[in-house]
Structure 1
């Protein structure tokens, strides 16, 4: 699933210093209310748009346009399905640091572990990486945190949701690594500056939460109806 890297805020304080500016115009509100009912609010539309922008058929239709234009939002047949999905997705993606942990097993030295090992058992030594199968291909059901600690039985759905081409777990692998700047001698060590600096097992909790975000996003997106009205599907 490809994703846009630009973000559009709901509120536009620079448009109205009093705080009444927003990114959904009164004209847009009128269009939605005319189609779906007078009770529709701008917050409803914002959630609806977020839901639509995750719809597989919408992404496929506008995959090229999204690289150069603002998104085109259809008036789908089922407004509530996309509004509800958008709300769920917002809660997941904004609150990714506090969602429940997906119960992937943590192992230290081959034994199941829930934070009982010494702190060093959970430290990132250089960078995390995927395990390898006998044929040398990546086994993305197993994440090697370091030489002693691993997460096992990561579900395939954890890799189906991607942001700019990478799953949340892959983003963690690529960004949470020890970096040495040869010119300055500065070492950028995530073990010391992240929220798990004082409680290293929090790294494992963080990774489990990323699995939750990915799996739940895939579930929500998989349950979406078509976003493009039937009369438009052959255009």
Structure 2
């Protein structure tokens, strides 16, 4: 229900000031549609690490043919950036690192917004190497990929999976029935 575009249109002003309230719908069919969509969204979002990564195109050609050598060095990400110039960002292209550039990212994937920012941009912002100014502690997403996940390509695959999750979420949300509430 909270994903419904009609719900946002109708209660958007209230949502900035108070907790959301879940209204009752008129028909059982609408209830069932919202319930099923919620179950699919919950499953998709909880199990995001098991979804099929989106098949982006790589500027460097087919990934299976890459000469990786040292995977930790090859897949190391410092900061992902959009293609294009600063004023004319090309969101269909993401420069992962000096070795990998993803292209053909569907712009529709940026329509899935979490806390005011597209989910893909959240991933780009978090999968970096950053030093905290106050403490000097280095936060390195590559450490998590290598040590915890055992996969140096984890940040790349995570980005591709979030594309899939974003596109599926948009498809489910757009398929919700029109919000018809009792008078």
Asked if 1:156 is matched to 2:102, the reply is no
- TM-score normalised by the chain length of structure 2: 0.86
Per the alignment, residue 72 of structure 1 pairs with: 21
Q: Which has the higher contact order (CA 8 A, sep 6+)?
A: 2
Give structure 1 stretches of 5+ with no counterpart: 1-51
Per the alignment, residue 121 of structure 1 pairs with: 74
Deviation at 1:205, TM superposition (A): 1.6
Structure ranking higher in helix proportion: 2
Quick check: which has more Rg, 1 or 2? 1
Deviation at 1:138, TM superposition (A): 0.9
Per the alignment, residue 175 of structure 2 pairs with: 223
Give structure 2 stretches of 5+ with no counterpart: none
> How many residues of Structure 1 are paired with residues of Structure 2 in the alignment?
176
Q: Please state whether the residue corresponding to 2:35 is helix, strand or coil.
A: helix
Query: Quick one: which of 114, 119, 122 aligns to 1:168?
Result: 119
Please give the per-residue CA displacement for 1:125-156, whole angstroms capped at 9, x wherever unaligned.
Answer: 3x1111115x8411111111112211111112
Please give the per-residue CA displacement for 1:165-190, whole angstroms capped at 9, x wherever unaligned.
Answer: 11221001111211123554432211
Q: Please state whether the residue corresponding to 1:71 is helix, strand or coil.
A: coil
Distance 1:150 1:162 in 2: 23
Asked if 1:140 is matched to 2:91, the reply is yes
Q: What is the CA RMSD across the aligned residues, in angstroms?
A: 2.2
Per the alignment, residue 56 of structure 2 pairs with: 104
Distance 2:14 2:80 in 1: 35
Per the alignment, residue 7 of structure 1 pairs with: none
Distance 1:61 1:182 in 2: 43
